[in-house]
Amino acid sequence: MGVKAYIAKRIVFVFFAVWVVASFNYIVFYKMIGDPVTLLIRKMPLDKETIEILREKWGVNKPFIEQYAKYVLNMFIGDFGISFRSFRPIVDELLEKLPNTLALMGSAFILATFLKLFIGLKIASKRGKRIDVATIGISLTLGSIPVFWLGMIMLQIFSFGLNLFPAYGTISDPPNNPKNFQEFVIDYLWHLTIPLITLTIILTGGGLLSIRNLVLDALSQDYVLVARAKGLPERMILYKHVLKNVAIPVVTGIASSIGGVLGGAPTTETVFSWYGMGRYLVISLSELDWPAVQGAFFMMAFITVLSNFIADVVYSLIDPRVKVGGKV
């Protein structure tokens, strides 16, 4: 199987995965809430005629199969319906929150990946020494700390204690809100700092040992022994030969951890009052805004599937077995 055939196969899998997610999303919420109009009239008493009009408009008076088919089609075209809470299109609200989630989760993910690679290469080359033992202990500790606990500690120290960083939000409230683009960028990064550091610490600690073990395994291979016999500097061996060979399992590990990172978005964004999709999901859930909850779940699942597809494409480009049509 060559690169083109491999990518085509993964595209088919993406569509299948999105269909499964949409189906699961619909069936679970269909069984949980039944008629969504009954939730709406709890806050807004309506007469029977209006209720029937709403049922007709939302199609909840149609057979299950017809509702399911329409729902799945709407998910594929990006129509998530109208929010019970704001009566705005859910896709518009999600797209407003998406950049904030990507800014926080994406930045932390990228920083943590580079830190894990750099530290993993360093400590693996110093196996058994004090720095290696200390790093293992620190990694195990950080990997077991809940993000909400570390987040509250960081807020207590740097926001409420030292008053160096804001304790909530993505930008400052009026009258201190930014007045131009430059001020907006500075203010946004100021609010981003503590959540970003917290999440980066957790992500780095959680995956550091796996990188270290991959590097240790690579250092025991014959090509490393040959490189050392030729007198190549240890730095060149690590960053040119070893790093290249551990790239494939690292990419695979990155892809498998994206879902976990997004899954932690509701907790992380709630702790820091970060206005992203995770916090939007929590608020929608507390307000029984089921269309918004469904839309947020689907969007996060779609990003996970898409990220895995991108990782598969990168995998196919860096794995020689795919390039020559071998098995993967």
Write down how long the chain is.
Answer: 328
pLDDT band at 75 (very low <50, low <70, confident <90, very high): confident
Mean pLDDT over 135-155 rounds to 85
- The CA distance from 18 to 10, in Å, is 12
| Amino acid at residue number 224 | V
Paired tokens of 177: 């809100």
- Judged against a pLDDT cut of 80, whether residue 165 lies above it is answered with yes
Distance CA 29, CA 36 (A): 10
**Angstrom distance (rounded) from CA 205 to CA 158:** 21
Average pLDDT over residues 172-183: 83
Contact 34, 322 (CB under 8 A): no
Three-class SS state of 89 = strand
The confidence score (pLDDT) of residue 157 equals 92
256 neighbors 249 (Cβ within 8 angstroms): no
278's CB contacts (< 8 A; 6+ apart) are 101, 262, 264, 265, 266, 267, 268, 269, 270
Ordered by start, the domain boundaries in the chain are 84-315
Kindly indicate the confidence band of residue 322, based on its pLDDT and cuts at 50, 70 and 90.
low
User: The tokens of 170 are what?
Assistant: 């993505």
Task: Determine the residue type at 288.
Answer: L
Tell me which amino acid residue 282 is. Answer: V
Rounded CA separation 51/291 (Å):
17
Cβ atoms of 220 and 237 within 8 Å: the answer is no
326 or 260, which is more confident: 260
Token reading at 117? 């690679």
* Cα atoms in the Cβ-side hemisphere of radius 13 Å centred on 148: 8
Percent of the chain whose predicted confidence (pLDDT) is above 70: 87
Q: Please say whether the structural domain 84-315 has been given the CATH code 3.40.50.12780.
A: no
Please state, in angstroms and rounded to a whole number, the distance separating the CA atoms of residues 285 and 276: 14
